[in-house]
Structure 1
Amino acid sequence: MLDAHLVVEVGRFHLDLPLRIGAGEVVALLGPNGAGKTTALRTLAGLAPLSGGHITLAGQDLDRPDTRRWIPTERRRIGMVFQDYLLFPHLTALDNVAFGPRRHGADRRGARQQAAGWLARVGLAEQARRKPRQLSGGQAQRVALARALAVDPALLLLDEPLAALDARTRLDMRAQLQHHLARHPGASLLVTHDPLDALVLADRLVILEQGRVVQEGDAATITAQPRTEYVARLVGLNLYRGRASGNTVVLEDGFRLTAADQHDGDAFVAFRPSAVALHPHRPDGSPRNTWPATITGIQRHGDNLRIQLTGPIEVAADITPVAAARLDLVPGHTVWAAVKAAETHAYPAGPAC
């Protein structure tokens, strides 16, 4: 089990991250660039010291500035899979995996036996004698994972482990990684920018912005009720904050949205881009949420097109290519946007997590 409070001062940046991960639990750490994810990984791995707080793993203090206790990287029961894998280019896959056990005191023969077992577990027994340059991206990722797990880590750190793979390989490797993480008895921390990786692989999500946790919980809770613009974009929702009275939420600029839920006080209101209908003119018998908007951008989004709109509120709408052609949607054109109240959900804002 990991029990940590990561406090780091780097110039004007301040990281303050409480983090607990149970044995067998996988936690995903997400956040925009500069949020502090890499700093968190470096301090956990022992590559950078804490300014305050503590890191306790399986009952052992690894870093506690107030008592001047600090355990170096090689003595921590931690395995790490780097984004670019960082395999030793001059070593075979077998010896790459054996490196960790050797550093932890195993003799050459014993380390190689352990490494062979791990390569078999990740389906690479036949690649044992190959060097990294002879491996595919997916194979290199599996060697890196085997190397990290071969030291029997109490904490497994994964830094964007699938980011370097092409889309097809990524799909296969996500499924394999899910299998191995489920079998790992220790704690696991996954740092990723990809919400799908987090939703598929993690038991719990921690969202970090500007060095602080803004939201934490299981995937269902976070996707249903995002609490910042970053989280809303991450899960694909339009999100606004305002003051609710009954079914009406008045945003900061005075624009009103009618929601299906009744609340009083500070509230968020959210709806999916696919809930936004676009019309060339104000629709007859229009829904209660209807407003004129100007198209600012059009991008492919899966099988649909994502239309970016400005106006009383900034909003994203997902429509089919056929509908886009029929509406003659081009940047700069004005359209009418409409969202049914039944598809607009409000919930109490409260403080960030």
Structure 2
Amino acid sequence: MDAHLVVDRGTFRLDVRLRVAAGEVVALLGPNGAGKTTALRTLAGLQALTDGHVTLDGRDVDRPAGRVWTPPERRRIGVVFQDYLLFPHLSAVDNVAFGLRRQGLDRRAARASARDWLARVGLAGYADRRPRQLSGGQAQRVALARALAVRPVALLLDEPLAALDARTRLDTRAELQRHLAAHPGPTLLVTHDPLDALVLADRLVIVEGGQVVQEGDAVTVTARPRTDYVARLVGLNLHRGQASGHQVRIGDAFTLTTVDRVAGDAFVAFPPAAVALHPSRPEGSPRNTWPATVVGIQRHGDNLRVRLDGPLPVAADVTPAAAAQLRLSPGQPVWAAVKAAETRAYPAGPG
């Protein structure tokens, strides 16, 4: 699947290039309003392109400049929507058979194939149930079976796990991973959940404001975030400054020492767990220390995440015991420290 998606919608403009190889799963991530759903809808033929193209299996299905447009039902694209959009009046087997009937199969053959697909997703005994009689995880699997049953060239998934509770999500994610691995065509997964993306996708594409801001495999993206959104997504503090050797000057009044040698415009990233808090200025090994003010505290897993303001605004993860010992509270002054060895510096140019 090769696409250049250009959509003008009022003051918003989507301009995104996507290429997904056969058998590859690409996750499209971004904050609300970034253009993820618009991208999926244009690929599915539910939203008109202003410019650009959508090419599937070497054939244009949408190219405004050439006056080429293929209706959604003829694009051979399987779509699993966030709310699944199962037909409430049809049984599970007839929901799955619907697309097959539209392709011209007679009712008996379509239902036989649909039953086979329900068995593949572990729902052989649920064929006659209607959507209201299914759990969220079961409905998601019926929607996936319906999308795969028509043997699509490409598969589009729009937040496929968002409607599930945490336990069901865990089990369904593992099941979905198995089915995506068996799908021979390209798959685009639209999600805001980094865990879904990291578990299910071979490659990540990050969009903000209708533009691609970063792409690559999970290791590259998580190790070297290039925007605040990506840094928050992967749980890192991120700052941008001017580097010279092992020094990165951030703003007008603060310089971080790093183990990496960089020159010019650069990013510095480090995890909240690398930030140590002290009641007074620490002595010893940390070369990066600065006064800070606690602006917020919230639970983060087994620890507490402390938001700090100061010359270098950061998040720090501390244990509840450490927080109690420091008597942390909003407005409290502390000293923050991060070892040079805990930071990563890298060029801020394109990449």
Query: Residues 111-148 of structure 1: CA distance to partner in whole angstroms, max 9, x if unpaired?
Result: 10110010000000000000011111110110011011
Shift of 1:252: 2.6
1:64 aligns with 63
Shift of 1:285: 2.1
1:209 aligns with 208
Equivalent positions of 1:17-166 (< 5 A) are: 17-166=16-165
Query: Residues 316-337 of structure 1: CA distance to partner in whole angstroms, max 9, x if unpaired?
Result: 0111111111111111111111
Shift of 1:284: 2.0
Matched position secondary structure for 2:94: helix
1:250 aligns with 249
Q: Partner amino acid for 2:89?
A: H
Q: Partner amino acid for 2:270?
A: F
Q: Partner amino acid for 1:341?
A: A
Shift of 1:231: 0.4
Unaligned runs of 5+ in 1: none
- TM-score, L = length of structure 1: 0.98
Contact kept? 1:286, 1:338, Cα under 8 Å: no
Unaligned runs of 5+ in 2: none
The two structures, once aligned, show a CA RMSD in angstroms of 0.8
Query: Residues 196-236 of structure 1: CA distance to partner in whole angstroms, max 9, x if unpaired?
Result: 10000000000001111010100000000000110000000
Query: Residues 2-54 of structure 1: CA distance to partner in whole angstroms, max 9, x if unpaired?
Result: 01100111111111111000000000000011111011011001001110010
Query: Residues 157-184 of structure 1: CA distance to partner in whole angstroms, max 9, x if unpaired?
Result: 0000000000011000110000000000
CA distance in structure 2 between the partners assigned to 1:214 and 1:281 by the alignment: 39
Number of residues of Structure 1 aligned to a counterpart in Structure 2: 351
Equivalent positions of 1:152-191 (< 5 A) are: 152-191=151-190
Query: Residues 61-118 of structure 1: CA distance to partner in whole angstroms, max 9, x if unpaired?
Result: 1110011110001111101111111111100000000011111111111110110010
CA distance in structure 2 between the partners assigned to 1:25 and 1:81 by the alignment: 17
Q: Partner amino acid for 2:174?
A: A
Shift of 1:255: 1.3
CA distance in structure 1 between the partners assigned to 2:312 and 2:85 by the alignment: 45
CA distance in structure 2 between the partners assigned to 1:252 and 1:12 by the alignment: 32
2:284 aligns with 285
1:13 aligns with 12
Contact kept? 1:259, 1:344, Cα under 8 Å: yes
2:271 aligns with 272
Shift of 1:264: 1.0
Q: Partner amino acid for 2:77?
A: I
- TM-score, L = length of structure 2: 0.99
Equivalent positions of 1:217-232 (< 5 A) are: 217-232=216-231
Matched position secondary structure for 1:313: coil
Runs of 4+ residues deviating >2 angstroms: none
Shift of 1:286: 5.4
CA distance in structure 2 between the partners assigned to 1:253 and 1:127 by the alignment: 64
